[in-house]
């Protein structure tokens, strides 16, 4: 039916309501897959951007908080109230270490997101690159079949040559026996 839209099928009138209806139907059928593909690409892009912004924002906030805690620790070191300040300093160091671990986790999550994006691109590239590989495999298979055919023809010719050569050898022996008699 779509070919009727493109070339004007023989037997159909070139103008009229049926031609117009077929033309409009062809436009509608072409637009639907493009709309679905565009919607899927937009949703995928929006999701990736949202995850990347979340990971980068979290990493930035954690780094700022770690700097603030480090500055507070430096200020507490200047005040030197023996046991209480030392206990508070240890508590803040534990908190800072926890926040640094959380920042490293966010950084690892961002690296994993980048790796997933790279893997999806590699999967698409592998599909595209497999097409010429399949074509070459088909050509090599064809060349193998031709080589097998030539080899089998060679065997047939060799068998016929052997069969045709046998009577001559027998004739030579016959002539040799007649000569010796």
- CA distances for 7 relative to 19, 36, 64, 130, angstroms: 11, 27, 66, 33
Q: Which two tokens stand for residue 104?
A: 């490293």
CA 131, 115, 96: angle at the middle one, nearest 5?
180
Stronger pLDDT, 9 or 100, i.e. the higher one: 100
pLDDT at 56 over 60: yes
Across 1-18, average pLDDT:
56
pLDDT (tens digit per residue) in 149-170: 888 888 888 777 776 766 666 6
* Lowest pLDDT segment from 27-31, 49-53, 59-63, 165-169: 165-169
Q: Tell the residue number behind the tokens 């070339």, with chain if given.
A: 7
d(CA 127, CA 115): 18
Across 28-48, average pLDDT:
72
Across 73-78, average pLDDT:
70
pLDDT (tens digit per residue) in 84-128: 667 778 888 988 888 889 888 888 888 888 888 888 877 777 777
d(CA 162, CA 116): 67
pLDDT (tens digit per residue) in 118-132: 888 777 777 777 778
pLDDT at 146 over 70: yes
d(CA 69, CA 92): 7
Identify whether the C-beta of residue 8 lies closer than 8 Å to the C-beta of residue 14: yes
Could you tell me the pLDDT band of residue 2, with boundaries at 50, 70 and 90? very low
In the prediction, which pLDDT does 145 show?
A: 92
pLDDT at 10 over 80: no
Mean pLDDT of the chain: 76
d(CA 109, CA 105): 6
């Amino acid at each position: 039916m779509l070919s009727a839209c493109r070339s004007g099928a023989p037997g159909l009138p070139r103008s009229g309501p049926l031609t117009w209806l077929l033309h409009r139907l062809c436009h509608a059928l072409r637009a639907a897959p493009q709309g679905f593909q565009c919607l899927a690409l937009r949703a995928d892009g929006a999701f990736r951007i949202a995850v990347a912004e979340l990971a980068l924002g979290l990493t930035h906030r954690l780094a700022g908080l770690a700097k603030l805690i480090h500055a507070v620790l430096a200020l507490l070191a200047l005040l030197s109230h023996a046991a209480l300040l030392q206990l508070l300093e240890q508590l803040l160091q534990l908190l800072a270490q926890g926040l640094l671990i959380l920042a490293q986790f966010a950084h690892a999550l961002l690296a994993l997101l980048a790796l997933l994006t790279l893997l999806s691109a590699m999967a698409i590239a592998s599909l595209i690159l497999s097409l010429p590989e399949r074509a070459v495999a088909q050509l090599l298979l064809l060349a193998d079949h031709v080589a097998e055919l030539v080899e089998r023809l060679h065997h047939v010719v060799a068998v016929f040559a052997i069969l045709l050569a046998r009577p001559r050898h027998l004739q030579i022996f016959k002539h040799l026996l007649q000569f010796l008699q």
